[in-house]
Amino acid sequence: MHRPSRTTGRVFLGGQTMSKEIKSKRTTAASIRDMKKTGDKITMLAAYDYSTALKIDKSGIDIILVGDSLGMVILGYDSTLPVTMDDMIHHTKAVSRGARHAMVVGDMPFMSYHRSVDEAVGNAGRFLQEAGAQGIKLEGGREMAGTVRSISSAGIPVMAHLGLTPQAIHTLGGYKVQGRDSETARRMVEDAHILQDAGAFSLVLECVPGPLAGEITDALDIPTIGIGAGVHCDGQVLVVNDMLGIYEGFTPKFVKQYADLDSLLLKAFTHYIDDVKSGTFPGEEHTFL
pLDDT tens string, the chain, 289 residues long: the values are 333 334 434 344 444 444 345 556 899 999 999 999 999 999 999 999 999 999 999 999 999 999 999 999 999 999 999 999 999 999 999 999 999 999 999 999 999 999 999 999 999 999 999 999 999 999 999 999 999 999 999 999 999 999 999 998 888 877 889 999 999 999 999 999 999 999 999 999 999 999 999 999 999 999 999 999 999 999 999 999 999 999 887 778 899 999 999 999 999 999 999 999 999 999 999 999 9
Q: How far apart (Å, rounded) are the C-alpha atoms in residues 141 and 268?
A: 45
* Beta carbons of 190 and 173 less than 8 angstroms apart: no
Residue 22: the pLDDT is 55
Overall residue count recorded for the chain in this entry: 289
Angle at 226 between CA 150 and CA 170, to 5 degrees: 70
Q: Where does residue 117 rank: exposed (0-12), middle (13-18), buried (19+ CB within 10 A)?
A: middle
Q: How far apart (Å, rounded) are the C-alpha atoms in residues 228 and 237?
A: 9
Q: How far apart (Å, rounded) are the C-alpha atoms in residues 65 and 46?
A: 4
Q: What H or E segment, with its residue span, contains residue 33?
A: helix 29-38
Q: How far apart (Å, rounded) are the C-alpha atoms in residues 142 and 109?
A: 18
Beta strand residue intervals within 37-155, DSSP E: 42-46, 63-66, 103-107, 135-137
Q: How far apart (Å, rounded) are the C-alpha atoms in residues 87 and 127?
A: 11
Q: Where are the domains of the chain?
A: 6-258, 263-289
* Beta carbons of 189 and 132 less than 8 angstroms apart: no
Domain 6-258 indexed as CATH 1.10.490.10: no
Residue 176: the pLDDT is 87
Residue 177: count of CB within 10 angstroms of its CB: 16
CA trace torsion 126, 128, 133, 134 (10° rounding) = 140
* Beta carbons of 252 and 228 less than 8 angstroms apart: yes
Q: What H or E segment, with its residue span, contains residue 121?
A: helix 117-129
Q: How far apart (Å, rounded) are the C-alpha atoms in residues 124 and 138?
A: 10
Of 196, 194, 218, 216, the C-alpha closest to 205 is 216
Q: What H or E segment, with its residue span, contains residue 17?
A: strand 16-23
Beta bridge partners of 160: 203
Q: Name residues whose C-beta falls within 8 Å of residue 37's C-beta, 6 or more positions apart in sequence.
A: none
Residue 23: the pLDDT is 58
pTM over 0.75: yes
Of 188, 196, 111, 220, the C-alpha closest to 145 is 196
Residue 13: the pLDDT is 44
List active site positions. Answer: 206
Residue 3: the pLDDT is 35
